[in-house]
Chains A and B, each alone.
Chain A
Amino acid sequence: MLFNSLEFAVFFPAVCVAYFTLPPARRIPLLLLASAGFYMAFVPAYIVVLGTTIAVDYAAGLRIEASRGPARTVWLVASIAITCLILFTFKYYDFFTTTFAGLATLAGWRPSPPTLDLILPVGLSFHTFQSLSYVIEVHRGRQTAERDWKIFATYVLFFPQLVAGPIERPQNLLHQFRLHHDPDPDLIASGLRRMAWGFFKKLVIADRLAPLVNDVYATPSAHSGPQLAAATVAFAYQIYCDFSGYSDIAVGTARVLGFRLMENFDSPYAAANTGEFWRRWHISLSTWFRDYVYIPLGGGRAGPWRRTRNLLITFALSGLWHGAAWTFVAWGVLNGAYVAAGHATRDWRDRLWAAAGLDPEGALRRCAQVATTFLLTCIAWVLFRATSLADAGHILTHCGTGWSDPVFTTENFGPRQLALAVAAVAFLEAAQWVRRRQPLGDLVRMLPLLPRWSAYAGLLVAIGLAGVHGRAHFIYFQF
């Protein structure tokens, strides 16, 4: 079920009313059923896949906790292997077999391995990682194994964050299913505000920009340099607003029900370097890879070369997590290279800024750093969005051409759409700029009733009128 669907508009209030009306003992079964229904609205049969992951990791958690010595690790490895095998089968099998066949052809061998052509269950990578974090944390002794299967299943299936995160850690979420939540008007209002902001990002910005990006990236060679550049910047905002919009709706939805999910984004395009960008972008995944891949590999402790190697491995895996294609791997490696280069050149850059006479704490230096980081991020997004490495190469080499008479519109993205999208992005950036100084919710709450309600009503009408209501999927659903 999509958040931006009529079904959800009926489903969510009904679940809320039922949740707060039922006695506490019935609430977890309700959330479990509702979450299963939410998931089955996509492809019903795939609940079996999710059920298998839940059963394996629930049992593994109990066995790990009950075991001592090497047996703990055996259970952990078995659980990770089974969970990852499911992910591999659905997401990576065809990619690896076609890659293998391609490489074999280069060696003069012509194998024809069978392909599965399976449809990827929605959000498989998300709930696989959430489930993995549970068994790893139990193995590390930082989380007690959950004995109530209904609570564990609800932890993995919890509908607000089921299909696109945030990828929760058991320490943050699991215990909340044991708490009693009374309807709290302030929490409900705060959750609804957050949901509205998420819908604004998704419907008014992300889906509004989509036709420009789709037109240009479908046939890059048929578009001019300004169109290629505009579509790339548009994609930077499209993917940010699509994904952070989803996260806002997820956080808001959970908050209405009384749950607190972790924050997934923190104004990533305000980052002054790529390392900071990754601390602000998809925080739940970045910290997952940091805690379970980068640090176990040695992190940055064993010198610059080991750090570079670890960063490249971690980011390559992060790229592969996003999609089974070489463009995603290249995107990951490029981001790893950015962060590694950031570490390696820090002193040199500081000297350069000092030589340019820019105060280390000054706004001008910060602006230049933010602009540079945004540019680097956009270059990486080209690899992420392009359908092939050849297309990505074309876009990157032609962005700077044909600027004598620039046109930014396309066949499906006219001047009015452009004007509205630019205005919406400007509003978003202004709101985020204000929020970095003071929480926006606090600021609005301080307003007298009429202006406050006008602001809320204005946001709702803007979503209705300026949004795109075509039930477009969230980009990250495909991961």
Chain B
Amino acid sequence: MPTSGLPRSAILRLAAFTCFTALSATLIQVAIRHGLRQVGTGDFGVMNRVVSGRAAADLLITGSSRALVHYDTRVLGPVTGLSPLNLGRNGSHTGLQLAVLRTHLRHNPAPRLLIHNLDLHSLASPAGIYDPGLYLPYLDEPAIREEVRSVHPEALVWALLPLYGHAVADPRLRWIEGLARLAGYERPETRFAGFEPRAWAWTGEFDRFAASTSTGYRVAHDSRGRESLLGLLRLCRDHGIPVVLVLSPEYVAVRTLQQNRTEILSEFAALAKEAGVPFWDFSDSPICGQRGLFYNSQHLNAEGAAAFSAELARRLLAAGFTATRLATRP
């Protein structure tokens, strides 16, 4: 037997307040998404250009952070005569790089040439999405939504309730950029056609890591990673886009720690052969031995990126990847 209960008016008030809060949350959700889709700089700036069809380029560069900071579009563009766009994404795995490329091709004309940068982890399955907040405003894009969902099944809920997505999957508080944009503030642009130069000194991060491991480590690789890379190569073939797979320089000392480096490089070569695309390994580049050109073992600093981009541009010209020649392709 119930002994007591809340007055009806209190229950109605609680219900009305719940509706009011839900409405407020919805308005904030709309504001954040709208703001993020308006951002014109940084990661969001590049993605917003892609999804709004303003990212047409002759030379497209894809890959992870190594692509983002290694391919200096200010060097590659003038030397090759191709208008470049760097789509490198921090911490992204190959599947996500493929999703971004699919999205680009959905909204923009196909490039004349695609350079896909590899790193030793390119054939590994993702452990998670790095910085998922960057992708929350684009979950209406089928390729991105499917890839994020394949790693985080709850991404479907994030797509329906972006505010929930930001609450649980945006530890870097990307939503602040959306609200700041609505308030008229935007971070100054530090990128050049997507390329992000990092004028950083050697951080010592690698030295600490090397000191902590005496035996080195094995780089993970599996069928899902391989399938993603093959998927990217197939997509380019289907769109008639010539591809060059590039392993950009790594600091030479890291190689002694990568126990299965040769095995991974052989897989890259085999995949390139299977897809009929060139694989350019820059492990022999003199850049690899110059610590002053890196800020850690995997990433060139701005000076290193300029040097590498010049070396790559020369090789592109030598291989016949010029604006004139690519323009005459069917």
On A, residues with C-beta under 8 Å from B are 20-24, 182-183, 185, 188, 222, 414, 416-417, 419-420, 453-454, 456-458, 460-461, 464-469
Question: How far is it, in angstroms, between the C-alpha of A24 and the C-alpha of B17 when the chains are bound?
Answer: 30
Known: A456-B17, A457-B17, A465-B175; 12 extra A-B contacts, CB below 8 A, are A23-B3, A183-B6, A453-B17, A454-B24, A457-B20, A457-B25, A458-B24, A461-B28, A461-B163, A464-B167, A468-B171, A469-B167
Question: How far is it, in angstroms, between the C-alpha of A469 and the C-alpha of B168 when the chains are bound?
Answer: 6
The yes or no answer to B330 lying at the interface (CB within 8 A) is no
Chain A, interface SS category:
helix
Question: How far is it, in angstroms, between the C-alpha of A188 and the C-alpha of B17 when the chains are bound?
Answer: 14
* Contact A417 B168, beta carbon cutoff 8 Å: no
Q: Which residues of B contact A466 (CB under 8 A)?
A: 173
Question: How far is it, in angstroms, between the C-alpha of A419 and the C-alpha of B163 when the chains are bound?
Answer: 20
Question: How far is it, in angstroms, between the C-alpha of A320 and the C-alpha of B142 when the chains are bound?
Answer: 57
Q: Which residues of A contact B173 (CB under 8 A)?
A: 416-417, 420, 466
| Minimal beta-carbon separation of B56 from chain A (angstroms) | 32
Question: How far is it, in angstroms, between the C-alpha of A21 and the C-alpha of B4 when the chains are bound?
Answer: 6
Question: How far is it, in angstroms, between the C-alpha of A282 and the C-alpha of B163 when the chains are bound?
Answer: 35
Q: Which residues of B contact A222 (CB under 8 A)?
A: 208
Question: How far is it, in angstroms, between the C-alpha of A469 and the C-alpha of B163 when the chains are bound?
Answer: 13
| Minimal beta-carbon separation of B256 from chain A (angstroms) | 24
Size of the chain B interface, CB-CB below 8 angstroms: 27
Q: Which residues of A contact B184 (CB under 8 A)?
A: none
Question: How far is it, in angstroms, between the C-alpha of A467 and the C-alpha of B20 when the chains are bound?
Answer: 21
Q: Which residues of B contact A461 (CB under 8 A)?
A: 21, 24-25, 28, 163
The yes or no answer to B172 lying at the interface (CB within 8 A) is yes
Question: How far is it, in angstroms, between the C-alpha of A22 and the C-alpha of B13 when the chains are bound?
Answer: 24
Q: Which residue of B lies closest to A21 (CB)?
A: B2
Per-position contact with A for B19-37: 1 when CB-CB < 8 Å, else 0?
0110011001000000000
- Residues of B1-18 contacting chain A, CB below 8 A: 1-7, 10, 13, 17
The yes or no answer to B270 lying at the interface (CB within 8 A) is no
Q: Which of A416, A456, A467 contacts B167 (CB 8 A)?
A: A467
Question: How far is it, in angstroms, between the C-alpha of A22 and the C-alpha of B3 when the chains are bound?
Answer: 7
- Residues of B176-225 contacting chain A, CB below 8 A: 176, 208
Question: How far is it, in angstroms, between the C-alpha of A24 and the C-alpha of B1 when the chains are bound?
Answer: 10
Chain B, interface SS category:
helix
| Minimal beta-carbon separation of B211 from chain A (angstroms) | 12
| Minimal beta-carbon separation of A279 from chain B (angstroms) | 37
| Minimal beta-carbon separation of B240 from chain A (angstroms) | 41
* Contact B167 A182, beta carbon cutoff 8 Å: no
Q: Which residues of B contact A419 (CB under 8 A)?
A: 176
| Minimal beta-carbon separation of B210 from chain A (angstroms) | 15
Question: How far is it, in angstroms, between the C-alpha of A282 and the C-alpha of B170 when the chains are bound?
Answer: 33
* Contact B176 A456, beta carbon cutoff 8 Å: no
Q: Which residues of A contact B24 (CB under 8 A)?
A: 454, 457-458, 461
Per-position contact with A for B218-248: 1 when CB-CB < 8 Å, else 0?
0000000000000000000000000000000
- Residues of B138-192 contacting chain A, CB below 8 A: 163-164, 166-168, 171-176
Q: Which residues of B contact A465 (CB under 8 A)?
A: 28, 163, 166-167, 175
| Contacts known (A464-B167, A465-B28); A453 close to B20, Cβ less than 8 A | yes
Q: Which residue of B lies closest to A467 (CB)?
A: B167
Question: How far is it, in angstroms, between the C-alpha of A23 and the C-alpha of B17 when the chains are bound?
Answer: 29
Q: Which residues of B contact A457 (CB under 8 A)?
A: 17, 20-21, 24-25
Q: Which residues of A contact B20 (CB under 8 A)?
A: 453, 457
Q: Which of B25, B171, B208 is packed against the most chain A CB atoms within 10 Å?
A: B171
Q: Which residues of A contact B21 (CB under 8 A)?
A: 453, 456-457, 460-461
Q: Which residues of B contact A414 (CB under 8 A)?
A: 172
Q: Which residues of B contact A183 (CB under 8 A)?
A: 4-6
Q: Which residue of B lies closest to A416 (CB)?
A: B173
Q: Which of B5, B17, B172 is packed against the most chain A CB atoms within 10 Å?
A: B17
| Minimal beta-carbon separation of A456 from chain B (angstroms) | 7
Q: Which residues of A contact B208 (CB under 8 A)?
A: 222
Q: Which of A419, A457, A465 is packed against the most chain B CB atoms within 10 Å?
A: A465
Q: Which residue of B lies closest to A211 (CB)?
A: B171
Q: Which residue of B lies closest to A466 (CB)?
A: B173
* Contact A20 B4, beta carbon cutoff 8 Å: yes
| Minimal beta-carbon separation of B63 from chain A (angstroms) | 23
| In the A-B complex, the 8 residue pairs with the closest CB atoms | A185-B10, A457-B21, A457-B24, A416-B173, A182-B4, A464-B167, A183-B6, A21-B2
16 of the cross-chain contacts (CB-CB < 8 Å) are A21-B3, A24-B3, A182-B3, A182-B4, A419-B176, A420-B173, A453-B17, A453-B20, A458-B24, A460-B21, A461-B25, A464-B25, A465-B166, A465-B167, A466-B173, A468-B171
Q: Which residue of B lies closest to A414 (CB)?
A: B172
Question: How far is it, in angstroms, between the C-alpha of A457 and the C-alpha of B21 when the chains are bound?
Answer: 5
Q: Which residues of B contact A417 (CB under 8 A)?
A: 172-173
Question: How far is it, in angstroms, between the C-alpha of A464 and the C-alpha of B26 when the chains are bound?
Answer: 13
Question: How far is it, in angstroms, between the C-alpha of A188 and the C-alpha of B176 when the chains are bound?
Answer: 33
Q: Which residue of A lies closest to B16 (CB)?
A: A453
Question: How far is it, in angstroms, between the C-alpha of A469 and the C-alpha of B170 when the chains are bound?
Answer: 10
Q: Which residue of A lies closest to B164 (CB)?
A: A464
| Minimal beta-carbon separation of A429 from chain B (angstroms) | 21
Q: Which residues of A contact B164 (CB under 8 A)?
A: 464
Q: Which residues of A contact B25 (CB under 8 A)?
A: 457, 461, 464
| Contacts known (A458-B24, A461-B28, A469-B167); A185 close to B1, Cβ less than 8 A | no
